[in-house]
A = this chain, B = another copy of it.
Amino acid sequence: MPHVVILYTANLEPQTDMGQLCRGLADTMLALHAEDGARVFPQGGTRVYAYPAPHSAVSDGGAAGRAAGGDGDYGFIYINLRMGAGRSPAVHKAAGDALLGCAKAHLAPLFADARKHLGLTVQIDEAPGQVYDAKHSTLHPLFPPR
């Protein structure tokens, strides 16, 4: 059920390995355990999709960045996790903080570059407005409950 969708400006494509970030975020999700010791996210349903935007516009288009000595080629990465409803606020915070920490670590070289101006946002939604949910899978059975 849980998935992460990453939307980002395509100028970042050559600057960082987004496939590696996907793998890191998936591993982060799979390592999370709730108060009762159970995995927060089922192994067979955890996935991350990342989409560079062929067209985008960010903030003022670069003027303030160039004025501050940057290259004016702003980047933005938006990470959204959709998960089923019913988890505790503590689990939401642990999941969000873990995803944010993973992404910050992966993007650290870009954040440390004084010529780059980059935004990262992480948000979690609990299946908003959901009125139907079904699945069919030959992947889930690989991970039987123990």
Verify if A95 is at the interface (C-beta below 8 Å from B).
yes
Copies of this chain, how many? 3
User: Interface extent on A, as a size class?
Assistant: 35 or more
Tell me which of B60, B85, B139 contacts A58 (CB under 8 A): B139
A residues 23-49 with Cβ under 8 Å of B? Answer: 23, 25-26, 30, 43-49
A142 and B55 CA atoms in complex are apart in Å by 23
In the assembled complex, the CB of A22 is this many whole angstroms from the nearest CB of chain B, namely: 4
A120 and B43 CA atoms in complex are apart in Å by 14
The residue of chain B having its C-beta at the shortest distance from the C-beta of A30 within the complex is B60
B-side contacts of A15, CB under 8 Å: none
A131 touching B125, Cβ below 8 Å: yes
- Write the residues of chain A forming the contact surface with B, with a CB cutoff of 8 angstroms: 1, 3, 5-9, 18-19, 21-23, 25-26, 30, 43-61, 64-65, 68, 74, 76, 78, 81, 85, 89, 92-93, 95-97, 100, 103-104, 111, 116-140, 142-143
23 intermolecular pairs with C-beta atoms under 8 Å apart: A3-B7, A3-B78, A19-B56, A21-B55, A22-B57, A25-B57, A44-B59, A44-B119, A47-B58, A49-B56, A96-B134, A100-B136, A111-B138, A117-B138, A117-B139, A119-B138, A120-B137, A123-B132, A123-B133, A125-B129, A125-B130, A127-B129, A129-B129
